[in-house]
């Protein structure tokens, strides 16, 4: 039996985020460790890290926090200084160089660029393009207070908050488990709040069950995925959809397409820890789950507009 517990300190939370960064920022994300950056007047600040998602072309200033830290005396001024410092040309050039160096020495980083179809000759161009856009404030935290929500809504930059929980085994507190977001789902996303989709749903709110109920997936339908690990041979996997919105692969059932895809990758010999299942699985017509998700959101938006029109009448 595990019971919820407080983090010992902020460093413990930082360590969890660093070790599991892909679960927050995406399977194609690159996590850059904390680095001193400075404002134009020379004031230094060190965020807990930076993350660049090669798939979405977004990047994050990462700041892990504990809710007992004051929003007004600690979190808000700290993030404000970081946003000013990261806006300088020197800071962005520093981050670009760090990513390029990671590509040169890290096989996993190279694989992520390759997976996204980014050629070596284009690395600086792509990374520079990502860093030229406004950063997202990415904040893993143990709990979210009302003041934190309202402060996040006032920022010019998008803010994403993920809740991370700690559990210890009753009677054996040395055994610890952490609960981290599934499918990169933030608890708070100010961009989704400020610019909601026509259906009122964000893409990470859509589940396989939604697709089944919308008849975009059928009970018993097979999805396919192909994967070639580094230095290995191409392998193909099949997963069967069930009416309850789960998928079965290699005799195991998952609600998450990403965990289903990960089982296939690891079976193929990969040591990857995450993969985006929505862009891995295809139906018999070659449509990705991500494509079906877009269709579902479009259908939901049309239905919402029809209901609104009927109510107006």
pLDDT in tens, 94-114: 999 999 999 999 999 999 999
Q: Answer whether residue 301 shows pLDDT above 80.
A: no
CB contact at 8 A, 141 and 66: yes
Question: Is 34 within 8 Å of 48 (Cβ atoms)?
Answer: yes
What is the reported pLDDT for 202? 75
CA separation for the pair 179, 187 (Å, rounded): 13
- Please give the pLDDT value at position 309: 52
CB atoms within 10 A of CB 118: 17
Yes or no: say if 239 and 255 are a contact pair by the CB < 8 Å rule. Answer: no
Report pLDDT for 10.
95
Q: Which of 49, 44, 51 is nearest to 26 (CA)?
A: 51
pLDDT exceeds 60 at position 166: yes
Q: Which pLDDT tens digit goes with each residue over 234-261?
A: 999 999 999 999 999 999 999 999 999 9
Instruction: Please give the DSSP secondary-structure letter assigned to residue 200.
Output: S
Q: Kindly report the pTM of this predicted structure.
A: 0.86
Instruction: Indicate the helix (H) or strand (E) that contains 209.
Output: helix 208-213
Give the separation between CA 282 and CA 278, rounded to whole angstroms: 9
pLDDT of residue 306: 60
Assign 14 a pLDDT band (cuts: 50, 70, 90).
Answer: very high
Q: Which of 35-39, 174-178, 186-190 has the lowest mean pLDDT?
A: 186-190
pLDDT band of 233, cuts 50, 70, 90:
confident
Q: pLDDT band at 3, cuts 50/70/90?
A: very high
Q: Which long-range contacts (CB under 8 A, 24 or more apart) does 220-223 make?
A: 221/283, 221/284, 222/284, 223/247, 223/281, 223/282, 223/283, 223/289
pLDDT on residue 125: 96
Predicted confidence (pLDDT) at residue 216 exceeds the cutoff of 90: yes
- For residues 274-299, give the mean pLDDT: 94
- Characterize 210-242 residue by residue with b for buried, 16 or more Cβ atoms within 10 angstroms of its Cβ, and e for exposed: bbbeeebbeeeeebebebebeeeeebebebebb
Beta pairing class for 29-33 and 37-38: unpaired
């Amino acid at each position: 039996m595990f019971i919820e517990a407080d983090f010992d300190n902020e460093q413990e939370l930082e360590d969890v985020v660093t070790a599991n960064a892909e679960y927050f920022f995406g399977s194609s994300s690159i996590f850059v460790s904390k680095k001193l950056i400075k404002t134009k007047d020379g004031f230094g600040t060190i965020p807990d890290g930076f993350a660049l998602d090669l798939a979405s072309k977004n990047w994050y200033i990462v700041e892990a926090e504990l809710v007992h830290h004051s929003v007004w005396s600690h979190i808000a001024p700290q993030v404000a200084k970081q946003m000013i410092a990261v806006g300088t040309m020197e800071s962005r050039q520093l981050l670009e160089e760090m990513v390029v160096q990671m590509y040169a020495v890290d096989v996993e980083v190279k694989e992520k660029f390759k997976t996204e179809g980014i050629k070596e000759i284009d690395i600086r161009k792509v990374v520079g393009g990502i860093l030229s856009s406004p950063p997202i404030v990415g904040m893993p935290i143990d709990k979210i207070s009302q003041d934190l929500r309202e402060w996040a809504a006032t920022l010019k930059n998008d803010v994403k908050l993920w809740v991370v929980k700690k559990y210890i085994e009753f009677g054996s507190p040395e055994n610890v488990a952490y609960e981290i977001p599934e499918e990169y789902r933030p608890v708070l996303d100010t961009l989704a709040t400020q610019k909601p989709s026509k259906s009122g749903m964000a893409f990470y709110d859509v589940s396989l069950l939604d697709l089944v109920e919308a008849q975009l997936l059928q009970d018993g339908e097979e999805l396919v995925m192909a994967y070639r690990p580094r230095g290995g041979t191409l392998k193909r996997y099949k997963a069967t959809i069930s009416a309850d919105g789960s998928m079965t692969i290699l005799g195991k059932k998952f609600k998450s397409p990403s965990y289903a895809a990960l089982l296939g990758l690891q079976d193929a010999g990969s040591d990857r820890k995450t993969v985006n299942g929505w862009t891995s699985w295809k139906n018999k017509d070659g449509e990705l789950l991500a494509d079906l998700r877009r269709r579902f959101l479009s259908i939901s938006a049309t239905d919402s507009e029809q209901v609104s029109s009927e109510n107006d009448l």
